[in-house]
Structure 1
Amino acid sequence: MMDYFLLAFLLTVFLSIILNIFFKRFEIPTIIGYIVTGIIVSEAFELKSNENLEHIAEFGIVFLMFTIGLEFSLRHLMSMKKEVFVNGGLQVFIGGLFLAVLAYYILNQDDYNSLIIGLALALSSTAIVLKILNDTRQISQPYGRKSLGILLFQDIAVIPILIMVDVFSSNQSSVAELVIRTLFMASVLIVLLYLIGKYIINWLFYKVIQTKSNEIFIATVFFLVVGSGTLAHGFGFSFSLGAFLAGMMMAETEYKHQIEADLIPFRDILLGLFFISIGMQINIDVIVSNIFIILMLVLSIMLIKAIVIFGILRTYQSTRVSFKTAVTLSQVGEFALAVFGMMSSRGMLEPQVAQVLIAVSVISMFATPFILKNLNFFADLIEKDVANQADGTIKPQSLRDHIVVFGYASLGQEVVYRIKERGLVYIVIESDISLVELGRERGENVFLGSAFSKTTFDNACVKTAAAVIVTVTNEQKLELITRNITNYDANIQTIIRVSEDEKKELFADLGNNFHLVSQEKALGRLLVHEALQCKIDKNLGKSVI
């Protein structure tokens, strides 16, 4: 038996590799390759996704939510409170009610079941949407931020939905008890994780770093992520919510970027396993026998969700941003599969109804990468004229002998100020939408783009630029950007600020076209300049007297 499962595992990995190599030739996302792999494996080996596999696969979402949490500190989350609590709350409740009516009349479910099914169908796919937004670097665009905010609330909403399954299947608790218990447990969990983050995590990482062992560092991160997820699960919440809160705690530490770099390979492998398990849940026979009702439900559900989200956002957002967000979140998510599985195990759903709902969810998830790949094309049909203003993304320029600045944080803003003083032509590339918006408000030539994208380099006319100035201060990102510039064109004149240690260890092998400005020497010149300015001002004051 063990040999059989080992053979199935090896063939599954091999099949996923071959399919994704083939699909990549047609620019089909790896997500599709994993789902198709799961379908083929389940049919060929007569294997279905079991509880143990689903638990392992769920860690893909856990680590995805953790890495997202690393990018969103508590202060950042509170700055998104409208996107999370207002937009997300309205989307789940309004969309859930409309979809509950659909379940009541189309699937012939009773009131309680229809409500739970409607709320579950209102949830979107955190795993697919965030992976695609991260891979395409769209997470920092306006519609990406709106999508993320709604997804965060949906992840929180999973908690009361699962508790509702408990309540309505056992009839031992009232709705009032459900709300009170959820709020109490949420408050205790947040306070506990806050205290751990404030008084333990920095001290623990400090001790771990002193060991100079990368294995111990990674093991510590794994322990904190899984431990936070387990703590959240113990309070009745999802593992992924706990992981997200853990990420937010670690976002406040100086080890944030090292943690992210070490975990990304593990996250992506586990996410692949998750999507394979999704494909294994599809029953081809049920889909064939109910194909018309399934397709009707898929179209109806995605249309209802898109209309609700568009209506909510359009009250204060542009048509383009509202449309892109609505389409991005129109699919049914993986957490709905957990809800349907729980309802089925409690006898609340008939097996065939459960399979129809699972098929609807998976098909909508399957279609999402193809839809998002052509999202800009569909958005242009709705509102083309304001695309540049809405997204702020870098478009093809026609510049020569200009200066390209990567980064618009405090150092980048100072560099731009000095460039403008001398009347030079410049263009700034920044990946943080809030900094792009700040630059736009000041009338600066700041555009949203990635320093790791060839398209960004092309659009900014880097090859014809007089020089490139990199103002990024993070060591890891600085090294990646410099390597990317070298790979793009080894002759680009590039100026970067480094410390003396970095100059010797990381950038010593760069070509003569890289001009390394030592931050110690630059600071020394600045201090002397300020001292001389004080002397001049003092002497001027005496001469005036």
Structure 2
Amino acid sequence: MAGLVTVVVLLVAMVVAVPVAKRFGFGAPLGYLAAGLAVGPAGMGLVTNVEAIGHASELGVVMLLFLIGLELRPARLWVMRKSVLGLGGAQVGVTAALVAGLGVLALGLPVAAAVVAGFGLALSSTAMALPMLAERGLLANQSGRNAFSVLLFQDLAIIPAVALLPLLGSGSAPATGSPWVAVAEGALAVAAVLLGGRFLLRPLFRIVDRAGAPEIFTATALLVVIGTAVLIEEAGLSMSLGAFMAGVLLSDSEYRHEVQADIQPFEGLLLGLFFVSVGMGADLPALMEHPLRFIGLALGVMAAKALVLVALARIAGVPLAGAVRMGAVLSQGGEFGFVLFGLAVAGGSMAPEQASAAMLVVTLSMIATPFVFAGSERWLVPRLLVKPKRPFDAIHSDGAPVIICGFGRVGQVVGRVLRMRGIPFTALEKSAAQVDFVRKFGTQVYYGDPTRVDLLRAAGADKARILVVALAEMEESLRVVEMVRRHFPNLTVFVRARNRWHVHQLMDRGVANIVRETFDSSLRLTADVLRALGVEEAEVTRSLDTFRAHDERTLIRQHAVHHDEGRLIQTSKQAAEELQSLFEADREEK
């Protein structure tokens, strides 16, 4: 019963803390850490079996690495080899040497303890950094890919670090033979996983899939993840490495997506539990006794890691904004630091109080990182984004009656039809890459920012008849509309709207010609679905006309209350009831 009470307490803490943290823009990891601090021994003391929860929560990191492996096909790993080995290797080596040197010179640590502390603090938290990048949609851009490369090298580097720890020990560790024997055992375990996975995994999943029992498929997926992790751990290596290898082996499999869907719910919850356990394990009494010392150490480590990362990223050719983003998101200590420090104590290379202090520094850096990253994304990175060095094009207006602002996937369709009809237009696009791409196909597009009055005037806005605003960014399209109303009232404005909120903002600014970019295509898709279901063409047309007219009326009616969330929700419910009544009346007439 006590175990169930603990589970309830943890779930309540997570359910309360995580939404609050995300509401204020700090991300889920900080919410989990706060939940752990609140219910742990140093907080309200509602949960005391921290070690047991910590062991269970390690599965979250294991499953995270498995899912990462699923996304990384061997061919992609080969492509990433330079950034993984170059940038990742340099980051670990330089940071470890810098922190170890500071530990010896500034703190007077023994060389062995300083080396372990340097390497452990050079590692970052995969479990924290990747979710923060993913929440902001940054994993696919250059800084996100580079950050992942660094994290991947760190996860791989923990293997030789753990194997070589006995070389730094004081002799108090149990004699387990030569460390090179441990390295050989690890290499054999890796080879066994690679060979076994290559020839056994697909036949295993094929047999289970034929059984037609979804729950057994899920159990098999969990068995592969946890079984591989345990096998690798028994060889003295990292459980996460085993899980990552299993994921890579399945990345080219036809079962990849199904396995991913089965594992993801477990990964999210257990990863959250990992951060809760980190929060619960924080040595708050030591922090309260020497707050300035530990906070200073944590901030110093974060600053050192960030500076090293920024410098190395710049050397590797990463733009300054991306380099700063990498430094902010990877500045914390990592979960493998806890593992390394614990093993170092067992091996005699660190004293227990030294390991405890290092773990507290890692925990404090984890707590601080969401604040640092959020602040960096809000105030620093936007100011560092490289402004285009290429000057905007000089536009010579030829009296075209139409100006198109934004020549992406929407603006291009408008332009192609106008050109087919022989109607001249002037197209403005702020992306230099897009301008160069479109020009390859013979279309004249001018490079420039359509939110600038002088550019629109040069494009002939004083004499043109129509302005098409097809910009992807809603804020930019609103700025163009406001500027045009003030400076070019002669223009009839047509605007591409992203969603209903955007429509209401445009209506606030007096725009009458608004086209929702996905509305018509969604209706056409619906019509095709109804036809495929055997609905007669007349019924398809009547249903869509009814829906379109009702939705347009609702959109106009909601404009009056769109600033009041409560009334907006109420009108949405009323509109749904009205639409249902319309269709019911239509069926009764038949």
Normalising by structure 2, we get a TM-score of: 0.66
> In the TM superposition, what whole-angstrom CA distance separates every residue of 1:304-355 from its partner, at most 9, and x where no partner exists?
1112122222122222222221222111111111222223344543443333
One-letter code aligned to 1:23:
A
1:414-433 equivalences in 2 (<5 Å): none
Partner of 1:329: 330
Contact 1:197 1:249 in 2 (8 A): yes
Partner of 1:300: 300
Contact 1:49 1:277 in 2 (8 A): no
CA distance in 1 between counterparts of 2:332 and 2:232 reads 26
CA distance in 2 between counterparts of 1:24 and 1:349 reads 37
CA distance in 1 between counterparts of 2:187 and 2:420 reads 54
Partner of 2:7: 9
Partner of 1:344: 345
Partner of 1:432: none
Gap change, CA 1:467 and 1:109, over 3 Å in 2: closer
Aligned residue for 2:237, secondary structure, equals coil
Deviation of 1:440 after TM superposition, in Å, equals: 9.3
> In the TM superposition, what whole-angstrom CA distance separates every residue of 1:436-459 from its partner, at most 9, and x where no partner exists?
9998985699xxxxxxxxx97858
Partner of 2:559: none
CA distance in 1 between counterparts of 2:294 and 2:525 reads 56
Gap change, CA 1:69 and 1:121, over 3 Å in 2: same
Contact 1:167 1:173 in 2 (8 A): no
CA distance in 2 between counterparts of 1:404 and 1:55 reads 52
> In the TM superposition, what whole-angstrom CA distance separates every residue of 1:405-447 from its partner, at most 9, and x where no partner exists?
9xxxxxxxxx9xx9999799999xxxxxxxx9998985699xx
Partner of 2:139: 139
One-letter code aligned to 2:19:
I
> In the TM superposition, what whole-angstrom CA distance separates every residue of 1:36-76 from its partner, at most 9, and x where no partner exists?
12112223227556443222101111111111111111111
Partner of 2:358: 357
> In the TM superposition, what whole-angstrom CA distance separates every residue of 1:94-130 from its partner, at most 9, and x where no partner exists?
1101100122234322111111110111001111001
Deviation of 1:180 after TM superposition, in Å, equals: 7.9
> In the TM superposition, what whole-angstrom CA distance separates every residue of 1:269-322 from its partner, at most 9, and x where no partner exists?
001110110011112210011111112211221111112122222122222222
1:42-121 equivalences in 2 (<5 Å): 42=40, 43=42, 44-45=44-45, 47-48=47-48, 50-121=50-121
Deviation of 1:178 after TM superposition, in Å, equals: 4.5
Partner of 1:385: 387
CA distance in 2 between counterparts of 1:293 and 1:387 reads 45
CA distance in 1 between counterparts of 2:368 and 2:386 reads 24
Aligned residue for 1:301, secondary structure, equals helix
> In the TM superposition, what whole-angstrom CA distance separates every residue of 1:200-258 from its partner, at most 9, and x where no partner exists?
22222222222232212111111111122122213322111111111111110122222
Contact 2:474 2:498 in 1 (8 A): no
> In the TM superposition, what whole-angstrom CA distance separates every residue of 1:483-519 from its partner, at most 9, and x where no partner exists?
xxxxx9872415779x99xx779xxx9x9699xxxxx
Contact 2:163 2:179 in 1 (8 A): yes
One-letter code aligned to 1:113:
A
Larger radius of gyration: 2
One-letter code aligned to 1:206:
R
Partner of 2:451: none
Contact 1:49 1:280 in 2 (8 A): no
Partner of 2:510: none
Deviation of 1:386 after TM superposition, in Å, equals: 5.4
CA distance in 2 between counterparts of 1:146 and 1:353 reads 32
Contact 1:38 1:276 in 2 (8 A): yes
Aligned residue for 1:314, secondary structure, equals helix
Deviation of 1:365 after TM superposition, in Å, equals: 0.7
Partner of 1:25: 23
Q: How many residues align?
A: 452
CA distance in 1 between counterparts of 2:433 and 2:256 reads 24
Among residues 521, 524, 529, which one is paired with 1:493 in the alignment? 521
CA distance in 2 between counterparts of 1:116 and 1:425 reads 63
Partner of 2:468: none
Contact 1:401 1:465 in 2 (8 A): no
Deviation of 1:151 after TM superposition, in Å, equals: 0.4
Unaligned runs of 5+ in 2: 391-403, 440-444, 446-470, 478-493, 500-515, 535-539, 548-590
1:235-274 equivalences in 2 (<5 Å): 235-274=235-274
Deviates more, 1:230-239 or 1:217-226: 230-239
Contact 2:116 2:344 in 1 (8 A): no
Identity of matched residues, %? 27
Partner of 1:543: none
One-letter code aligned to 1:11:
V
One-letter code aligned to 2:156:
I
CA distance in 2 between counterparts of 1:92 and 1:440 reads 40
Partner of 1:474: none
Gap change, CA 1:467 and 1:280, over 3 Å in 2: closer
Q: Confirm or deny that 1:169 pairs with 2:197.
A: no
Aligned residue for 1:68, secondary structure, equals helix
Contact 1:290 1:356 in 2 (8 A): no
CA distance in 2 between counterparts of 1:149 and 1:335 reads 16
1:171-320 equivalences in 2 (<5 Å): 171=171, 178=179, 182=183, 184-185=184-185, 187-315=187-315, 316-320=317-321
Gap change, CA 1:180 and 1:466, over 3 Å in 2: same
Aligned residue for 1:45, secondary structure, equals coil
Partner of 1:366: 367
CA distance in 1 between counterparts of 2:35 and 2:334 reads 19
One-letter code aligned to 2:104:
Y
Normalising by structure 1, we get a TM-score of: 0.72
1:473-492 equivalences in 2 (<5 Å): 491-492=519-520
Contact 1:37 1:279 in 2 (8 A): yes
Gap change, CA 1:437 and 1:457, over 3 Å in 2: closer
Gap change, CA 1:289 and 1:440, over 3 Å in 2: farther
> In the TM superposition, what whole-angstrom CA distance separates every residue of 1:346-403 from its partner, at most 9, and x where no partner exists?
4543443333212211111111122222333312333442599xxxxxxxxx858974
CA distance in 2 between counterparts of 1:319 and 1:401 reads 28
One-letter code aligned to 2:229:
G
CA distance in 2 between counterparts of 1:92 and 1:146 reads 14
Contact 2:39 2:46 in 1 (8 A): yes
Partner of 2:502: none
Partner of 1:36: 34
Partner of 1:479: none
Unaligned runs of 5+ in 1: 389-397, 406-414, 428-435, 446-454, 469-487, 515-545
CA distance in 2 between counterparts of 1:198 and 1:214 reads 23
Gap change, CA 1:504 and 1:366, over 3 Å in 2: farther
Deviation of 1:196 after TM superposition, in Å, equals: 2.9
Gap change, CA 1:17 and 1:84, over 3 Å in 2: same
Partner of 1:536: none
One-letter code aligned to 1:380:
P
Contact 1:298 1:364 in 2 (8 A): yes
Deviation of 1:404 after TM superposition, in Å, equals: 5.0
